[in-house]
């Protein structure tokens, strides 16, 4: 009987729209979908001024399906640079709905040239360089994370 309960629980966890499936929307995970694909990243949040200023500086590596999600209180123009950042990165800029507005590929470690995310950015996902192109992440892709308000989200956590 216990093995049957275990099998039922496993089956429920894989059904879209179940409470188990929605549990995947967690503060340490970010889901990203685009035309033709979907990926989930383990993320660290940078949602305070100090955390955003530190970012991924001084790190020598980042796991392949990992990243850092920068969260701003309100949409704004953002610019990043790579001072003291030791690993090449892709930067995925998104608006208040979690819709990707711009992708910057291959930011160069140590480069002080500003990387402009444009106006209206509220979220920025930094991932290992080359992943955005490899996966097909482009403007119009959608982010899903608890920090993106459900009512206006392009891909809400509720479903």
Domain-embedded: residue 130? yes
- Specify if 131 maps to a domain: yes
pLDDT in the model for residue 159: 55
Q: What is the pLDDT of residues 88-111, one digit of tens each?
A: 999 999 999 999 999 999 999 999
pLDDT category of residue 158 using cuts at 50, 70 and 90: confident
Q: Measured between alpha carbons, how far is 20 from 66 in angstroms, rounded to an integer?
A: 22
Quote the tokens at residue 80. Answer: 């990043």
Distance CA 104, CA 124 (A): 11
pLDDT for the residue numbered 61 = 97
In a domain, residue 126? The reply is yes
Q: Both tokens of residue 138?
A: 């482009």
pLDDT for 79 beyond 70: yes
The answer as to whether 13 is a domain residue is no
> In which residue are the tokens 């995310």 written?
117
In 3D space, the residue among 89, 103, 29 whose CA is nearest the CA of residue 56 turns out to be 89
Range of the domain at 59: 26-144
Give the Cα-Cα-Cα angle 8, 9, 14 (nearest 5 degrees).
100
CB-based contact 17:24 (threshold 8 Å)? no
Closest CA to 22 of 158, 122, 141: 158
Check pLDDT > 50 for residue 73: yes
Percent of the chain whose pLDDT exceeds 90: 81
pLDDT at residue 12 is higher than 60: no
| Residue 150 maps to a domain | no
Q: Averaged over 6-20, what is the pLDDT?
A: 35
* Per-residue b or e along 11-21, where b marks 16 or more CB atoms closer than 10 Å to that residue's CB: eeeeeeeeeee
Per-residue pLDDT, 150: 85
- We report the CATH number of the domain holding residue 97 as 2.60.120.1140
Residue 72 included in any domain:
yes
- What is the pLDDT at residue 151? 85
| Number of domains present in the structure of the chain | 1
Q: What is the distance between the alpha carbons of residues 11 and 5, in angstroms, rounded to a whole number?
A: 10
- Rounded to two decimals, the pTM is 0.85
* Other residues' Cβ atoms within 10 Å of the Cβ of residue 133: 13
57 inside domain: yes
The pLDDT of residue 3 is 38
- What is the pLDDT at residue 34? 96
Tell me if 96 is assigned to some domain: yes
Q: What pLDDT does 107 receive?
A: 98
Residues 128 and 105 sit within 8 Å (Cβ to Cβ)? no
pLDDT > 80? residue 15: no
- Measuring CA to CA, how many Å separate 83 from each of 59, 87, 123? 12, 11, 20
High-pLDDT (> 70) share of the chain, %: 84
Confidence of residue 146 (pLDDT cuts 50, 70, 90): very high
């Amino acid at each position: 009987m216990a093995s049957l309960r275990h099998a039922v629980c496993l089956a429920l966890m894989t059904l879209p729209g179940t409470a188990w499936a929605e549990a995947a929307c967690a503060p340490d995970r970010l889901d990203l979908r685009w035309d033709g694909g979907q990926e989930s990243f383990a993320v660290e949040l940078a949602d305070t001024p100090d955390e955003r200023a530190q970012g991924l500086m001084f790190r020598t590596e980042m796991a392949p399906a990992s990243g850092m999600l920068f969260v701003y209180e309100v949409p704004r123009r953002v610019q990043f640079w790579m001072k003291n950042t030791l690993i090449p990165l892709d930067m995925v800029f998104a608006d208040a709905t979690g819709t990707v507005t711009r992708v910057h590929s291959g930011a160069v470690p140590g480069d002080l040239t500003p990387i402009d995310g444009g106006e209206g950015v509220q979220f920025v996902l930094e991932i290992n360089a080359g992943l955005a192109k490899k996966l097909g992440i482009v403007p119009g892709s959608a982010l899903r994370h608890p920090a993106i308000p459900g009512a206006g989200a392009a891909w809400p956590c509720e479903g």
